[in-house]
Structure 1
Amino acid sequence: MAPITTKTQYCFIDGSFEELALELATYLNISSEEIAPLLENNKKDDVLHRLVSASVALNSIPERDFTAAYNLLIYLVNQSPKINNYLQPICTNLLKPITSSPIHGPGLALNALTTVFNLLAPDNQVRGRVFQTIVRLVRANGLFDTLRSQLKNLDNWILEWKMDEDEARNMYILIADVAEENGQEEESYQFILKALRTYDKETEELDAEEEEQKQKLAIRALKISLLSSTHFDFHDLTSLSAIQSLSESHPIYSELLDIFSEKELEDYNDFRDEHEGFTEEEGLDNSTLHRKMRLLTLPSLAASTSRKELEYKRIAKALQIPSEDVEMWVIDVIRAGLVEGKLSQQKQMFLIHRTTYRVFGEKQWREVATRLDQWKESLRSVKEVIAREREGANAQKERDQHEVDRKAAGATGMGAGRRPAGRDNVVEMGTD
């Protein structure tokens, strides 16, 4: 696929409009007698209308001529101020099979559509419809990989095309469908989330059909996230109004999300008992959910402990596994990036270095508050110890200083009581 650009590109072909139109008409088996009078009367739009109407014939011309012929047609259409009127039939034709080239036909059609896209101004809303045609062609021919590198620009394009929420949503859903059909689960999931976020921006009340579509889309996203082997953070879901509204329309799904967001394996088992057969009826594989719930239980356990270590027997109880399987499950949780730590076989302990939360909600805030209180108490104890040591050091310093002063005073007193040596033997001599 030729690169899609964010700027308008230009196409230059040597020759006047009249010469080129006659050349293409001949190629399309349109008689010059039909085209020449229109050209003489400067009825270019009538000429273009005739050429575009007959352009479906280009799908059967030899492969070597296909690109040149379509480029010529696109160039001629681009000369008209009414270019948008001619693009829809061209796009429709390019979605049809290229009978002259069954193998390379999809690639040839994709290059022609890319040329059309690039010739339009970035803010031309028709660009959006051309892009949708490109996506449909990609979908029909399994060419998703050729499109993936362009999808990073889609959000900006939607803004440039001034799409409303409904149009943007349909575009995101289309991309999500194509990605899913090509086995790109995570990419599909991200575009479903983009589609769901458009409901947060809706200013008008949804009708019954739109509300049903929203609920189906929300459940679709929820199912993907629950069954994914790499998705463990559910905040991207719980923050969406479309997901939050499931608590009223689909309370069992909402309850299941709450369990995977912040509860543990025991809660999931209780859910299974209470809603027997629900996961099977909804196409949710219980073995996958059960394994994921075990993986999610360990970081919750690690986050809730005030100590930085977990006993093997406590892990075994929470995950409902034999003690000999503890290390295997801890390693799986570490590989999933949910915790960091070190196993101590000698102590039968998991030493915790770091853990993550699935959703940071009220329960997690309470745990943080508890830890802060514990740290505060520890700091207070350290402060008291330091204060006592400082007082003891100051007291000792004063005692040492008093002792030094006392000794100095004693030494001074002893020196004052002495007489100079030989003073008592001095005899004063006088004269009579």
Structure 2
Amino acid sequence: MIPTFTDVQESDQCEELRDYFNSLGANLTEQDEEGFLKDLTKIIGVCDLCFKEDKDADKQSVLNSIVSLLIQVPQTDPICSELVNAFCAKLVDVSTPNNALICIKILQNLFEGTGENPKLNYDIYYSLVKIAGSIGRIDLVYDDLHKVRSTYNKDNVGLDKVQKLLRLLHEVLLKDDSHEASKVMIELLGTYTEATASQARTDAHRCIVSFISNPNTFLMDHLLTLKPVKFLEGEAIHDLLTIFVSDKLNGYIKFYNSHKALIENSGLSHEQNLHKMRLLTFMQMAENKKELSFQTIKEELQLGDEDVETFVIDVLRTKLVKAKVDQVNKKVSVTSTMHRTFGRQQWQQLRDTLTQWQANLAHVHNTIASAICAQYETMTPINPNPIPS
């Protein structure tokens, strides 16, 4: 039977926990004369034995008892951080798919119990991310990047820990939410300065690969401005990024023929790269020409006759390009397209569009005002002094 640990002195609670774990095969000695902290250290060392229990409620009861003891340890005592980290490590080790949700609940209780103390609860949150990520439930512990940024920053936990957490979040989010993963990676690279950019080689490389491999990401020119990415200039991985930013399909094929090992060792798929480069090349073609023949598309994108129409339909599904397909005349009429890069020229176009939109609104406003005035002028005036009958 699982003991209930409520309204019990720390020493008595440790004694009951010690007896309980000894009944499961532990070999904990009698109460330590130095106080309950030494006892608690030993108990945490064998706390994973409670997972022998069949009922989840029993496991949670025991683990929550340990949490109640941890919360009572003075946070100013260095041993508090050691005990919390040891407990987190134990739960990470036993967080199989069957136990993960229990471990998350227990660590969330501990997290709440530590209060607003980022230095202490950083390791708790890091463990929560690791466990939640292992079962594909990052949504249980992660809301948005802003919250993480405001809670854990270099001022309260140190830059190394911030970067460590962002790396883990990126790795986990990449499996479930590629858009959010991209935001986290940009945040991570933004933590490096020109002086430390050389230390970010691995992160920058991982960033480039994740953006290229993401089937829903097509705009990548902003990566070229990041200091860690700029540090890679002259290397093949940087050349690959510039191809996906502004080059066409032929440029990628030439690169691949010379760097097959890089593509394979980076975990990239050549077939997926080809498909993405065809989409990007079509976008670039659509920017410069509003009418494209099937023959031009076939030659530029190296497609078979029977594949052209299917490819164009795939492009339209992405909503990167809006166009009409003329099957009879075998051509595509482009109405709008997303730009592959957004530089000075695109900002000028946006400014011109907004200026024209503003002018159109003013014209509509003046037209309506004139119409209202004209309507009032045609109305029969009312005689303020009517003649009595």
Which TM-score band (shorter chain)?
0.7 to 0.9
**Cα offsets for 1:10-64 (capped at 9, x unmatched):** xx933444553443344355677x46xx5xxxx7xx2232233233333224524
1:144 to 136, 139, 145: 136
1:33-432 aligned within 5 A: 34=31, 46-61=35-50, 63=53, 64=55, 65-81=58-74, 82=77, 83-97=80-94, 104-138=98-132, 142-145=134-137, 147-153=138-144, 155-161=146-152, 162-179=156-173, 188-199=181-192, 202=193, 205-206=195-196, 211=198, 214-248=200-234, 250=235, 252-272=236-256, 275=258, 277=260, 280=263, 282-283=265-266, 284-305=268-289, 308-322=290-304, 324-361=306-343, 368=349
**SS of residue in 1 equivalent to 2:42:** helix
Match of 1:387 in 2: none
**Cα offsets for 1:54-94 (capped at 9, x unmatched):** 33333224524332222222212322324435322222333
- Structure with the greater relative contact order (CA < 8 A, sep ≥ 6): 1 or 2? 1
Alpha-carbon separation, structure 2, partners of 1:93 and 1:269: 49
Maintained 8 Å contact 1:316/1:323: yes
**SS of residue in 2 equivalent to 1:176:** helix
Q: Which moved more, 1:238-247 or 1:166-175?
A: 238-247
**In the alignment, residue 79 of structure 1 is paired with which amino acid?**
Q
Alpha-carbon separation, structure 2, partners of 1:286 and 1:93: 41
**In the alignment, residue 352 of structure 1 is paired with which amino acid?**
V
Alpha-carbon separation, structure 2, partners of 1:119 and 1:239: 42
**In the alignment, residue 160 of structure 1 is paired with which amino acid?**
T
Mark the runs of 5 or more structure 1 residues left unpaired by the alignment: 1-11, 377-432
**In the alignment, residue 135 of structure 2 is paired with which amino acid?**
L
Maintained 8 Å contact 1:123/1:160: no
TM-aligned CA distance change 1:359 to 1:27, over 3 Å: same
| Structure 1 residue 272 displacement after superposition | 4.8
| Structure 1 residue 357 displacement after superposition | 0.9
TM-aligned CA distance change 1:227 to 1:54, over 3 Å: closer
Identical-pair percentage: 23
Alpha-carbon separation, structure 2, partners of 1:72 and 1:281: 50
Maintained 8 Å contact 1:338/1:356: yes
**Cα offsets for 1:122-152 (capped at 9, x unmatched):** 233111111222334446xx3232x334222
**Cα offsets for 1:372-404 (capped at 9, x unmatched):** 7xxx9xxxxxxxxxxxxxxxxxxxxxxxxxxxx
Alpha-carbon separation, structure 2, partners of 1:159 and 1:70: 30
**Cα offsets for 1:91-129 (capped at 9, x unmatched):** 23333448xxx8744433332222211211123311111
**SS of residue in 1 equivalent to 2:218:** coil
Query: Normalising to structure 2: TM-score of the pair?
Result: 0.72
Alpha-carbon separation, structure 1, partners of 2:66 and 2:269: 53
| Structure 1 residue 195 displacement after superposition | 1.9
**In the alignment, residue 285 of structure 2 is paired with which amino acid?**
L
Maintained 8 Å contact 1:344/1:350: yes
Maintained 8 Å contact 1:197/1:240: yes
Q: Which protein shows a greater Rg?
A: 1
Maintained 8 Å contact 1:279/1:286: no
**In the alignment, residue 187 of structure 2 is paired with which amino acid?**
K
Maintained 8 Å contact 1:279/1:285: no
Alpha-carbon separation, structure 1, partners of 2:217 and 2:92: 36
Supply the RMSD in Å over aligned alpha carbons. Answer: 3.6
**In the alignment, residue 234 of structure 1 is paired with which amino acid?**
M
TM-aligned CA distance change 1:271 to 1:153, over 3 Å: closer
Maintained 8 Å contact 1:52/1:90: no
2:17 to 9, 24, 37: 24
**In the alignment, residue 136 of structure 2 is paired with which amino acid?**
F
Alpha-carbon separation, structure 1, partners of 2:139 and 2:158: 23
**In the alignment, residue 16 of structure 2 is paired with which amino acid?**
E
**In the alignment, residue 41 of structure 2 is paired with which amino acid?**
V
TM-aligned CA distance change 1:71 to 1:287, over 3 Å: closer
Alpha-carbon separation, structure 1, partners of 2:168 and 2:39: 33
Query: Normalising to structure 1: TM-score of the pair?
Result: 0.66
